[in-house]
Chains A and B, each alone.
Chain A
Amino acid sequence: MSLPRALLAVAALAAGSAGVAAAPPDQDWPYYGGDPGGMKYSPLADIDVGNVAGLRLAWRWETGEQPLAAYGTAPGVFEATPVVEHGVMYLSTPYNRVVALDAASGRELWAYDPQAYRDGQVPNGTGFVHRGVALWHDRRSGALRVLLNSRYRLIELDARSGRPVTGFGDGGAVNLLDGLQWPVNPKHYTNTSPPVVYRDLVIVGNGVADKLIYRRDPPGDVRAYDARTGRLVWSFHTVPRDGEYGADSWGDGANHHTGHTNVWAPMTLDARRGLLYLPVSTPSNDYYGGNRPGANLFADSLVCLDAATGIRRWHYQLVHHGLWDYDMPAPPSLVRIVRHGRAVDAVVQLTKQGYVFVFDRVSGQPLYPIEEHAVPASDVPGEHAWPTQPVPAGLPALVPQGVSIEDATDLTPALHEEAVAVLERLRLGPLFTPPSVQGTLMRPGVLGGADWGGGAFDPRTGVLYVKVNNDPALVYPDFTDAEGRAPEVGPNDAGDVSLFLRHRIPVLKPPYAYVDALDLGSGRMRWQVPFGDNEAVRRHAALKDASLPPRLGAVGTAGLIVTGGGLVFVGGGDAAFHALDQRTGADVWSYATGGLKTTGTPMTYRVAGRQYVVIAVGGPGSGAALLAFAL
C-alpha cells in the first residue's frame, strides 16, 4: 500500500471509531489513457447523472506560455491529458514543459522546461503540442520518475523535484536520433504522444511533419530504452529492412529511402501479457505512392509486439498502399467484450476512415470478419492504387463516408448553389477514391473519423464511446520523385478551391461532428448524437435568417472518457465541456469555456475524498489552461 493510501486507511479507522463517515479512498489516473490499455474508463461514481448539474469549476491552472519572437515560436494547442498519482498531477504543456500540480488545488509544485523552443518552431502542422507524460516506478530505489519525449530527446525526471535523473542517458536525456537508419535533421523529428512504460523499459515512437517530403524523411522506428540507464534495448522497423518480414511489400527498393510510417499516436500495453500495440501511420508522402509500389507494410497497420523484445507477434494492415493520410490515429483500446457468448480480450483500432476493427488481442484474429472490398483505381501517372481495401463486416461506420453532390450544404438555397458549384469542380466518389490532379474530395478527411482522442470503453456494458468528425479534405497527389527533390510544400498546395463558403461555412452539410456509442458485443450503434457547435458558422451573416440545427457540430481531434457515474465527459473541440448520459447521449451538463476550445481528452480522479474531472482548453497562442471541476 502506498503511503498516502496507508495514511488514509489510518484516518478512516480513526474516523470510524469516532462515529464519523470516512473519506473514500483516493483514485488515481496513473496512465495517459487511465490504464495501460487505454480504456479511458474510471469507476468513480461520486459525480453521476443525478448530481452532475452541480458540477462547478474547482480550480484553474494556466500554462502562461507565450509566443517567443526571438525563436519564431508559438505555443500550439494545449492537448495534454494529465496523469495523477498519490495526489500529484503531472502533465506536459504545448512547449513540452513538464509541470507537477497539487491535484486537489492546482497549486504548482514544480516545472521543468526542456527549452524545446530553442530549436525553433516545430514542423508539424499542429505546431507545438504535447499530449502527456508517463510514470516509471524504479523498484530498486523506490523512486518515481516522469518520462517526457520532447522533439528528439527522451528525458527522465525525478517526480519529487522535477530535476533530470542524471544516470539516464546523457545527464538525464537520450538523443532519439542516435541509431536511426540514416541521419535526420533534428528539426524534422518530433514527439507528441506520451511514452509507454513496460517494466523497466521506456518505449517511444515519433512524430513527423506531414509536409516534409524528402528522399529520407525521418524513419518511424519504435524504440525501447532501459528506464534506468537510457540504453537502447530494442528497435522495431516500421519499414522493414531487406530480409525482414514485409520488405517485399515495398517495390523498387522503396524501403531503402521511405520515411514516416511512424507511430505518432499513443501506443497501448497489455501489461500482464507483455504485449504492445502500435498504431502505425502512412508512409512518405501522404498522397502519392508512385515511388513506393506495393502494399507497404507496416504502414497504416495495427502491429502487436512483444514488449520485452520488440519482436512482432502479429499485425493487420488496415489501409493498403496508403494515399489518404489515413494514419492509424487512435490508441488501440484494450478491452474485454462478450462476442457470441464468449468473453474475449480484444483490441480495438479506431480509424480516420471511420471503420472500427476489433481483434482478439493475443492471436490477432478479427472478431468481426474483415472483407476486402474493391475500390476505385487511380488515374494519376505512375500511381498504382491498391485494388481493394479492408472493411469490417457487422460493424457500422462511425461517420458518413464518401462524397456526392447530394452532400452539398443546404443551410440556405444560395449557399447550396455555391456548394454545388464547388463540388462540381472536384472529383467525388466513395471512400478510398484516390487523390487526383483535379482534386479529390475525400470524407472522412485527414482529421477523421476518429483521431488521436480515440475511444472510451465501459467494461460494465461493453459499449465504446467515440468523438468523431464529419469533415472532408481536398487532396491532390504530391508528385515527389524518388530523389526527394520536391519542396517541402508540394503540389498539394496548388488547389484554388476552398472547402469553405464565404470563408467559414463548410461546403458539406452539418453536423460536422458526432459522439457515437457502439456496442462492441453486438456490433450495434446504441446511439449517435451531433456533438458541439460552430459559432463562426452560427453567427455568419449569410445565415442570419436561416433555421439552423441546435448543434452544428464541432470538429476536433480530442477524445472522451466514461465513468462509473454513467457519464461521458467530452470536449472534443467545442467551446464548452460537456457531460452526456451514457445511456442516451443526452447532454446533461455543460460548461462554456469562455471562447476557448476544449482541446484535451479529459480525465478524472479522486483525492482527499473529492472527485475531480479535468480538461485542457485553449491555444494556439496564449491563454491555454487546465480546468478542474468538482461537486
Chain B
Amino acid sequence: MRASPNAAPWLGAALAVAAVAAHGQAPPALPQGEGRELVERACSQCHSLETVLRSRLSRRQWEARIDEMIAKGAQLSDDDIDVAAAYLAAHFGPPAP
C-alpha cells in the first residue's frame, strides 16, 4: 500500500507537489483565456475538470449548469457567472454544424 507514515501533520501543497511527480497524476488543463482561473477554482471544488473538458454546450446551457452548481455550493458572483459562461461557451461550445 502507499500509506503515509502515521501521525504525519497535514503538510499541504508542498508534500503534494513533491509526490505528484513520482505518482504521475497530472490534473487536466483548461485552455488559456479570460475566465480560466475562475472556472478552475469554482468547478474543481467538487468535481474533476474532466467533466468540463468532455462537455460541449451552448452559452445558455452553460448558464443553466452554472446556476445548478451555485445551488449546490459553487461560489460565483453574478459577474463571475457571465465570465465563466462566456469562457466555457467559447472553449467548450457545441461543435460547428
Contacts and interface: CB of A to CB of B under 8 A. Distances in A.
B68 A498 contact: yes
Given A72-B48, A155-B3, A118 B19 contact: yes
Contacts of A118: 2, 19-20, 23, 25
A527 interface: no
A127 B64 CA distance: 20
A122 B78 CA distance: 28
A182 interface: no
Contact of B58 (A73, A161, A496, A497): A496
Nearest to B3: A164
A67 interface: yes
Contacts of B23: 118
A514 to B, nearest CB: 18
B31 interface: no
Nearest to A119: B25
B25 A120 contact: yes
A414 to B, nearest CB: 17
Interface string A502-530: 01101000000000000000000000000
A503 B64 CA distance: 8
A71 B25 contact: yes
A69 B45 CA distance: 11
Given A72-B44, A488-B51, A489-B54, A111 B16 contact: no
A608 interface: no
A211 B50 CA distance: 11
A110 B6 contact: yes
Contacts of A504: 67, 70-71
B55 A164 contact: no
A495 B61 contact: yes
A308 interface: no
Interface in A160-186: 161-164, 169-173
Contacts of B68: 498-500
A536 B67 CA distance: 12
Interface in A400-418: none
A211 B46 CA distance: 13
B54 A115 contact: no
Interface string A106-133: 0000111111011111111111000000
Contact of B49 (A72, A119, A498): A72
Interface residues of A, number: 62
Contacts of B47: 121, 123-125, 127
A121 B48 contact: yes
Contact of B64 (A68, A488, A497, A621): A497
B27 to A, nearest CB: 2
A506 B68 CA distance: 10
Given A118-B23, A120-B25, A621-B45, A171 B10 contact: no
A74 to B, nearest CB: 5
A33 B30 CA distance: 42
Given A71-B20, A72-B44, A111-B9, A500 B25 contact: no
B57 interface: yes
Contacts, number: 157
A123 B16 CA distance: 19
A265 B67 CA distance: 27
Interface string B1-32: 11110111110110011011001011110000
Contact of A171 (B1, B20, B64): B1
A141 B72 CA distance: 46
Nearest to B60: A496
Contacts of B61: 493-496
B19 A500 contact: no
A123 to B, nearest CB: 6
Interface in A558-615: 597
Contact of B45 (A76, A120, A172, A173): A76
A500 B13 CA distance: 36
B10 A111 contact: yes
B71 to A, nearest CB: 6
Contacts of A155: 1, 3
B2 to A, nearest CB: 6
A153 interface: yes
A613 B71 CA distance: 28
Contact of A500 (B10, B20, B27, B67): B67
Given A70-B20, A493-B61, A121 B4 contact: no
A317 interface: no
A124 B7 CA distance: 28
A495 B64 contact: yes
Nearest to A556: B73
A388 interface: no
Given A67-B44, A123-B47, A72 B1 contact: no
B16 A71 contact: yes
B39 interface: no
A597 B73 contact: yes
B30 to A, nearest CB: 10
A620 B73 contact: yes
Contacts of B1: 153, 155, 164, 169-173
A77 B27 contact: no
Residue from A114, A493, A494, A506 having most chain B Cβ neighbours under 10 A? A493
A448 to B, nearest CB: 14
B1 to A, nearest CB: 4
A493 B81 CA distance: 18
B95 to A, nearest CB: 12
- For the complex of A and B, list the 10 residue pairs with the smallest distance between their C-beta atoms, beginning with the closest: A72-B27, A127-B46, A121-B48, A620-B45, A496-B60, A173-B1, A163-B6, A70-B20, A498-B64, A500-B67
12 contacts: A67-B45, A72-B26, A112-B7, A118-B2, A122-B48, A123-B47, A163-B6, A164-B3, A496-B60, A496-B64, A499-B67, A555-B71
Interface of B: 1-4, 6-10, 12-13, 16-17, 19-20, 23, 25-28, 44-51, 54-55, 57-58, 60-61, 63-68, 70-73, 75, 78, 81
Given A120-B27, A120-B48, 14 more contacts: A66-B13, A70-B20, A112-B4, A118-B20, A118-B23, A120-B25, A121-B27, A122-B48, A123-B48, A163-B7, A493-B65, A496-B64, A503-B63, A503-B78
